[in-house]
Structure formats: C-alpha cells, structure tokens
Structure 1
Amino acid sequence: MSDTTIALDLTWTELKDHVATLAEGIRQDGIPQVVIGILRGGMVPAVLLAHRLGVRDVRGIEVTRTLTDEPNGAKTAQPQVVNPASLGTFGTATDVLLVDDVAGSGETLATAATLITGLAARVRRAVVVVNTINWGRSNSKAPQQIQDYIGTTCVGWVRFPWEVR
C-alpha cells in the first residue's frame, strides 16, 4: 500500500449506516444527556448521532494529533488539547458520549475522555471507524470504565465524505 492509498473511502450513505449502527448500540445502553464531538472530524458524526438519539446538548472539544489532512500525515508526539473550557460544565450525574470520526492508536479519544472523566458520572466513546493498524497499542491511557462503540474498522487511511476530494 503506498503512502497515499485510501483504505476506506466512505460515502454519505455508508457514514449514515455506520452512525445508525452506533446509535442502536448506544441506545441499548441508555441515551446520553450530552454528546461531545472531537473537533474537527468528530463533530459531523456527533451531530448525526445526537439527532438519531434525540440529544439536544451537543458540545465540541479540540484535541488534535495529525498535523495535516493528507493521508498518513505527520502526527504530534502526544494529542494536543485546545481550550478545554469549551466543554463547559455539567453535573456529576451526567451521562456523556464522546464522539470522533476515526481512531488510530486511540490516544486522541483517551486524552479527551480523561478530560471528562471525573466531571461526569458516565463517559462513553463512539468512533465511526477504527484504523486497526495501531489500535490498542497506545489505548491503555483510557480509563477502564469507558464503554466503546465502533461503527466499522479498516486497515489504513480513511477519507470521509466531507473531506476535499
């Protein structure tokens, strides 16, 4: 596979199908009170999930790892949190769903979850696609009580329908 090969090129229809699958699993475990999307890519599926679940409280947090939008782009050594205050406040009894578009190592999700854990009663993570090349290698930072929901997996780079083609 070359550096620019796209392993999974999602259409809007496929994205909607994966979000529907995520929503079904989440609904079975209880509707969250707050949906938080990881900016940028996680906001699209976060809003789609919030609509499917009937959740009106949707927020965003910027946690970045990749430095470019190019396939296999360079990454920072650790995920970078920008303006954690954007999460706002919520009661300690709040059920929170954290959403991202894609996860590689899981470090971005783990970093975002760590920001929320302790502030809410329950934190769950949903990701549309897991790139299994590095999944689990660095994912040990995530608090153990977190439930994950995964739409689909692939081996390699993912391009979402909102990305420039």
Structure 2
Amino acid sequence: MTDRLPHEKGFHISWDQIHRDSRALAWRLDGNGPDNGAWRAVVAITRGGMAPAMIVARELDVRTVDTISVVSYHSGGGAADQRREAKVLKSPDPEIMGDGTGVLVIDDLVDSGKTLELVRELYPNAHFATVYAKPEGEPQVDDFITGVSQDTWIFFPWDMAMQYVKPYRGTD
C-alpha cells in the first residue's frame, strides 16, 4: 500500500488518550512557572487547544483561563497547499497577557509552527506547550508530550464520529 492518501497515515486520538496526554503535559509543566513554580494564566489556542488547556488548567489549579483565536488553514485542513498566512481573530485580555510572563499558551498540535510563531511574536515571554508536535513546528514550542512525523495526520476525537470501517484485508 504505497499509494496512500496523506490522511491515511493517521494517528487516531481518543478522548481518553487526549485526557491522559494533556495530564502528562500538566505534570511536565507543574512547578516550572516563574512565580515560585506557579503559572498566572492559561491561554488556549482555539479551537484545538481548548480541551488540553482546560485539563492543564484544572491539573495545575490555574483559574485564569482565556483564548486566542488564530486562523491559518482554509476549510480543507492543513495540507501545505491549503495553508494561508496566520491571522489573529480574537486576542486574550491584554491585562492578563502583558508580555506573556507567567502565561501558558496551550494548543493540541504544532504542525508547521506558523500559528505559534505569530502568537510568540505577540507574547514573547509566554511559555508555549502542545500535546503533540511535528518536526517543522518543534522550534516554536517549549514543551510537548508526543512527537509525530510531519506526514502524519492526527485525527482528534472532536473531529471524529463512530462508524464502521472495512478491514484492510478480507471481507469481515
């Protein structure tokens, strides 16, 4: 099977797995904030970063949570020919952010790194963490849990529905 479509090299993430991996990210970040190990706030990059950010904020007992909305893909997904210049649609509260010191910026995945590059320019002292990372984006993230190859498509649970899938071989 060498003639796979790009999305067929898939890494399927369940709700249980994203929860476990997000908790692992929280454990990695615990005690590493600038205020005696504490973090002031968590900012989720919408939409994918919202579930991991909620879990990280809960685990680290951070009550100040906000979002930043950045768009960098057309509706077709993340293929290179479908990417566009990253653009901020909604910013977090400026009083929360400042220059980013003590703020965790959380996303589900760093792919090309363009989204995090833009947010890092806005908040240079924030700490950037993702649950999953591809090689092109790794330089933009301070912490992540699982690395995947650049050509792997991650199927997140919020993008999936349960349905029958034919086996690779055979008829049942």
Query: Is 1:110 the equivalent of 2:113?
Result: no
Aligned length: 150
Q: Structure 1 residues 52 and 65, CA, compared in 2 at 3 Å: closer, same or farther?
A: same
Runs of at least 4 residues off by over 4 Å: 91-94
For 1:126 and 1:105, the matched residues in 2 are separated by 15
Q: Structure 1 residues 41 and 5, CA, compared in 2 at 3 Å: closer, same or farther?
A: same
Q: Structure 1 residues 8 and 93, CA, compared in 2 at 3 Å: closer, same or farther?
A: closer
Query: Is 1:64 the equivalent of 2:71?
Result: yes
Whether contact under 8 Å (1:98, 1:113) holds in the other structure is no
Q: Structure 1 residues 131 and 89, CA, compared in 2 at 3 Å: closer, same or farther?
A: same
For 1:48 and 1:69, the matched residues in 2 are separated by 28
1:91-130 paired onto structure 2 within 5 Å? 94-117=101-124, 122-130=125-133
Q: CA RMSD in A?
A: 2.2
Q: 5+ unaligned residues in a row in structure 1: which ranges?
A: none
Q: 5+ unaligned residues in a row in structure 2: which ranges?
A: 162-172
Query: Is 1:33 the equivalent of 2:40?
Result: yes
For 1:53 and 1:151, the matched residues in 2 are separated by 16
Query: Is 1:44 the equivalent of 2:51?
Result: yes
**Of the two, which has the highest radius of gyration?**
2
- The structure whose residues are more often strand, as a share, is 1
Q: Structure 1 residues 20 and 116, CA, compared in 2 at 3 Å: closer, same or farther?
A: same
TM-score by length of 2: 0.77
For 2:95, the equivalent position in structure 1 comes to 89
Whether contact under 8 Å (1:12, 1:161) holds in the other structure is yes
For 2:160 and 2:76, the matched residues in 1 are separated by 9
For 1:99 and 1:55, the matched residues in 2 are separated by 13
For 1:135, the equivalent position in structure 2 comes to 137
For 2:7 and 2:63, the matched residues in 1 are separated by 38
SS at match of 1:114: helix
